Amino acid sequence: MSHSSSQPKQLPVVYEENDPYRVLKKSPRMQNSDSSEVDIIHSRTASDSSTSKLYQPVEYDDPYRKHKAFNTTRERANSYLPYSHHRRDSNQPPASSMYIEEYIPPSTSLGVGSMLQDNFTDQIRASSIVRHQDPNKLEELPKKKRRKKGTICGLGYRTAGLILLLLVIVIVIIWYFVWPRVPSLSVSSVNDNADIKVITNSTKKSISTQWNVSLSADNSANWVPTRLNSIDLAIYDAKTLVPFGSGSSGVMMLAPRKKSTISIPMTIYYATDSLNDTTFQDLYNACGVQISSNVPSENRQDVLNVTFHATFHISGIVWNPSRDINVHSLSCPTS
């Protein structure tokens, strides 16, 4: 008994898809002349499915087939995603790569390194830095902003200068009216208060007496009363400039804008060892005992040329101003 080798049955190969002479069955959709190429791309037939287009059949050069218009647009590769056969937009930028973390932290806790965790820690650190900063340092900036540059005691340079100028003007005006001025003096009269004493019969010659000098003080230059602590008065011989008398007044008040009379007592005294002393001779010839003569012209008494030196002690003035009064042809007062 012969056994024939069992061979599997081979299915007949169907060349429907690759048969160039197969008549293509047109669907009613394709028969419509208004159908577009987009309908063919999105068709759901077996030949247009995404799985069937993974295989690219070998194209045969069939001289009898109907030539189609050449499509310049290039379709995208087949994909399993829906609507993957749309045309690529040339103006759309390429998609950037996305990094996907392999380890996904639990939803109940923030993972280290995540964006939420980093922001939370940064906020905690920033709040702790602000909390530990010195409050005095934070207050320095507003204080500096409050300061005004170019001011004097809170006033601008122009305002401060104007106020200072007005203050100086007011002080000058007050000073003009209040500042004491030295009154001018003139000799009104000279009287003697005692008899004159002349000593000539000894080795030392001397002459002495007491005068009362009346002065006229013109205080017209002052707007306020002038207080005088004293006026020191000295008398000099105009030829030799040698002093031979002095006196001083007491405290007095001179009325403003008028003339006043001042009386100063003076002590006259001069001594010398020589009879030829010029100052002694002038005093003796003017004030000494005169020898009377029978000729009236020879009984004429000599006169004195003297200078009164007055020193003022005025309240409100540190220094002591002085004035000189020249008197010519002064007759020596004798009782």
How far is the CA of 303 from the CAs of 225, 292, 331, in angstroms? 37, 17, 5
pTM over 0.75: no
What distance in Å separates the CA atoms of residue 209 and residue 332, rounded to the nearest whole number?
10
pLDDT the model gives residue 206: 92
pLDDT the model gives residue 320: 95
β pairing state of 243-248 and 259-272: antiparallel
pLDDT the model gives residue 251: 94
- Coil vs helix vs strand at 277: coil
Length of the chain: 335
Rg (Cα) of the chain, in Å, rounded?
A: 69
What distance in Å separates the CA atoms of residue 333 and residue 335, rounded to the nearest whole number?
7
What number of other Cβ atoms are within 10 A of residue 104's Cβ? 8
CATH topology of domain 184-290+301-330: Immunoglobulin-like (2.60.40)
Q: Return phi, psi of residue 146, to 5°.
A: -75, -25
User: 224 Cβ partners below 8 Å, 6+ apart?
Assistant: 177, 178, 180, 256
Which residue from 221, 211, 289, 278 is spatially nearest to 254, judged by alpha carbons? 221
What distance in Å separates the CA atoms of residue 147 and residue 40, rounded to the nearest whole number?
82
What distance in Å separates the CA atoms of residue 328 and residue 335, rounded to the nearest whole number?
21
Structure tokens at 159: 């305002």
The residue whose two tokens read 């069937």 is: 52
pLDDT the model gives residue 90: 65
The residue whose two tokens read 């996305």 is: 98
pLDDT the model gives residue 193: 87
How far is the CA of 93 from the CAs of 83, 86, 99, in angstroms? 19, 16, 18
pLDDT the model gives residue 1: 46
Secondary structure (H, E, C), 71-111: CCCCCCCCCCCCCCCCCCCCCCCCCCCCCCCCCCCCCCCCC
User: 69 Cβ partners below 8 Å, 6+ apart?
Assistant: none
The residue whose two tokens read 């069939």 is: 62
> For each of the chain's 335 residues, which pLDDT tens digit applies?
444 455 555 555 555 555 555 555 555 544 554 444 444 444 444 454 555 555 555 565 667 777 666 555 555 555 555 555 556 666 766 655 555 555 555 555 555 555 545 555 666 666 655 555 555 555 555 555 555 567 777 788 888 899 999 999 999 999 999 999 999 999 999 998 888 898 888 788 999 999 999 999 999 999 999 999 999 999 999 999 999 999 999 999 999 999 999 999 999 999 999 878 999 999 998 987 665 555 555 556 789 999 999 999 999 889 999 999 999 999 988 76
- Residues 217-245, buried b or exposed e (16+ Cβ, 10 A)? bebeebeeebebebbbbbbbbeeeeebbb
Structure tokens at 175: 């000073």
Supply the DSSP string of 127-150, one letter for each residue: HHHHHHS-HHHHHHHHHHHHPPTT
pLDDT the model gives residue 330: 92
How far is the CA of 85 from the CAs of 39, 50, 54, 66, 277, in angstroms? 11, 10, 13, 25, 151
